[in-house]
Amino acid sequence: MISENKLSPNHRSIALLVIGSLIGVSALFLVPNKISGYNQGAVAHINSAVIRKDEYQRAIALFRGEKRGPITDADLNLVLEKLIEEELLVQAALRSDSPRKDLKIRRRVLQTLLTSIQTRSAAGIGGPSQSAGEDLKVYLNQLRDNADIQMLKKVSGNVLVTSEID
Instruction: Give 64-82 pLDDT, tens digit per residue.
Output: 999 889 999 999 999 999 9
CB 64 within 8 A of CB 71: yes
Q: Do 83 and 114 belong to one domain?
A: no
pTM above 0.85, yes or no: no
* Domain contains 153: no
- List, as one string, the DSSP characters of 26-50: HHHHH-HHHHHHHHTTEEEEETTEE
Q: Do 58 and 88 belong to one domain?
A: yes
How many domains does the chain divide into?
3
Using the predicted structure, report yes or no on whether residue 2 has a pLDDT greater than 90.
no
* Domain contains 150: no
The range of the structural domain enclosing residue 106 comes to 101-138
Q: Which residues, in sequence order, are bridge partners of residue 100? A: none
Residues 6 or more apart in contact with residue 43 via CB below 8 angstroms: 51, 52, 53, 56, 80
- Taking only the tens place, the pLDDT of each residue in 94-119 is 999 998 999 999 999 999 988 888 88
